[in-house]
């Protein structure tokens, strides 16, 4: 991770994943986990459909 912003986003997605899992929302939690994994792998955020699809593992 290269910046505080990345760390903040990672924390957000990990907390969101946990909260969703706690509420039994496994499907939604999966996508938060995908986002966290993408950030941890050093993925970049661009505003195009290819990046969004890659981030969600599609």
pLDDT digits (tens, 9 = 90+) for 19-38: 999 999 999 999 999 989 98
Helices 26-40 and 4-22 meet at what angle, rounded to 10?
160
Evaluate the CA torsion angle 50, 4, 7, 11 in order and state its sign. negative
Residues of the chain above pLDDT 70, percent: 93
Domain residue ranges in the chain:
4-55
Single pTM value for the model: 0.76
Q: Indicate the Cα dihedral angle 3, 6, 14, 12, nearest 10°.
A: 100
CB 29 within 8 A of CB 17: yes
């Amino acid at each position: 991770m290269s910046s505080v912003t990345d760390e903040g986003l990672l924390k957000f997605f990990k907390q969101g994943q946990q909260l969703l899992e706690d509420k039994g929302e496994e499907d939604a939690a999966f996508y938060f986990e995908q986002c966290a994994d993408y950030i941890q792998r050093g993925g970049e955020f661009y505003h195009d459909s290819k990046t969004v699809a890659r981030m969600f593992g599609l």
